[in-house]
Amino acid sequence: MLRHRSAVVIAALIGATVLLGLSSAGQFPSWDTPPNASARSGAPASDASGGVPSYAFIPFGSGLASTPPMGWNGYNHFGLDVTADTIRAMARSLAVSGMKALGYTYVNVDGGWDLRARTAGGDLQPDPKKFPKGIKPVVDFVHALGLKFGIYTSAGFRNCANTSAGSFGHYAHDAATFAAWGVDYVKLDWCYLPLRLYPLMPHALLSEMLARQFGEAIVASGRRMLLDVNDWIDPSTASWARDLGNMWRTATDIRDNYQSVLFNFTRDMSQYRMARQDHWNDPDMLEVGNGGMSLNEQRTQFSLWAELAAPLIAGNDLSHMSHDVFAILTNSQVIAIDQDPLGVQGYPLTNRAGHWVLTRPLASGARAIVLFDATGKAAVISTTVAAIGLSGSAEYELRDVWSGRVVTTKGPISAQVSAHGVVMLVVSPA
């Protein structure tokens, strides 16, 4: 219900800005040119926000996300109903299942953990029904398992579900509270913004100011906390958030269906140049294991997210997972692509009527490629070693990260891809 309402609000709010985004699409590179190096150099965005001045690069949270963050968040499966018990159960599952060892580190509570009113002293109040002993003991439990804890708040007056206080007017106070609890990650959502207080200020400029202020509040708190800028409203979020957040949303809330995955993938992919170490495009959390997609489609989401260098935040009930779902979330070869230390997001080479070829440069010099059939009918998708960006060797090895099959080629690459499916290959000199 709430999720449905968000979608309606989004449609109303961004109709105009989406059009704007399209008309300024020239600011994004054409899809058949390779990414330029400056996008990854740490240099400030210049004119990508279309007239909004750029500011000096402030390295909030630098070093906290040298590879895309991995972990779990309760919203996609439990909505706002996450309790201290849920968090403990999910943290335990991460630790004992082996997911922690594969890099799933953050255990994140989403919206709804706190009440609408603050205490007389101005503190956010954990909902006593959900967190009877408050947040600190839950954070301590998560830390004792060698994991990290993420919390949620809104940059505006309320959380997006309108059930909890927002942080506007209290950034320094709330960041200090989170720091005192030992929080490691702050998801800063984008609702009930103080638009009335800033008449005539463009949305992007206001948002940039708020994100910077929250980043400064984190710095002032004295604790290093990752900043997740969750502005899902503004299609140009990447243009200003790329210097402020460790990650930022590139699309509206994901849903547990293939069309939503396709939409969020496409939006994220169109901004591939924005991502770099410590600063990642976020197409939203995983829906793997939530029941709305076939296993094939779930493998597709996981593969595409890895190609996008997206945060891998599992969104399912980790204590009730089928073997097949677990196998997707723990495919170490796909995770290694996502976490590749070069930190370059994959980009599209071609998209012929829904038959995509994507390539991602890896630190080893290899390329991770995805042949993605976005249509409803199986197809053969082809490319070549030269087209994906490799040269200089007489023969190349193609390692299929889902089947484990290894074959060699002198140039042509071709595979039968199922409807809504992917073939993901690591291509390297043989």
In the complex, which residues of this chain contact ligand GAL (CB under 6 A)? 6, 75, 110-111, 160-161, 189, 191, 230, 232, 253
* Distances, alpha carbon 13 to alpha carbons 10, 16, 205, 232, in Å: 5, 7, 16, 11
> What's the rounded Cα separation, in Å, for the pair 426 and 410?
15
Least distance in angstroms from the C-beta of 3 to ligand GAL:
8
DSSP per position, 345-376: --EEEEEETTEEEEEEE-TTS-EEEEEEE-SS
Residue 154 — φ and ψ, nearest 5°?
Answer: -115, 145
Short-list 289, 254, 261, 285, CA closest to 422? 261
Short-list 2, 283, 286, CA closest to 158? 2
Least distance in angstroms from the C-beta of 266 to ligand GAL:
18
- Tell me whether residue 253 is one of the annotated catalytic residues: yes
Least distance in angstroms from the C-beta of 230 to ligand GAL:
5
Beta carbon nearer to ligand GAL, 230 or 383: 230
Beta carbon nearer to ligand GAL, 231 or 297: 231
Neighbour tally for 17: CB within 10 Å: 15
Short-list 113, 110, 128, CA closest to 74? 110
For 220: left if phi > 0, alpha if psi spans -120 to 50, otherwise beta; the answer is alpha
> What's the rounded Cα separation, in Å, for the pair 13 and 273?
26
3 state SS of 24: coil
Residue 244 — φ and ψ, nearest 5°?
Answer: -115, -35
Beta carbon nearer to ligand GAL, 12 or 394: 12
Neighbour tally for 396: CB within 10 Å: 21
Beta carbon nearer to ligand GAL, 305 or 396: 305
> What's the rounded Cα separation, in Å, for the pair 263 and 22?
15
Q: Do the strands 312-314 and 347-352 form a parallel or antiparallel pair, or are they unpaired?
A: unpaired
Least distance in angstroms from the C-beta of 210 to ligand GAL:
15
Least distance in angstroms from the C-beta of 276 to ligand GAL:
23
Least distance in angstroms from the C-beta of 5 to ligand GAL:
10
Least distance in angstroms from the C-beta of 422 to ligand GAL:
25
Asked if 401 and 334 touch (Cβ cutoff 8 Å), the reply is yes
> What's the rounded Cα separation, in Å, for the pair 171 and 153?
10
Short-list 111, 56, 113, CA closest to 83? 113
> What's the rounded Cα separation, in Å, for the pair 135 and 122?
16
| Catalytic site residue from 110, 231, 234, 253 | 253
Residues with catalytic function: 189, 253
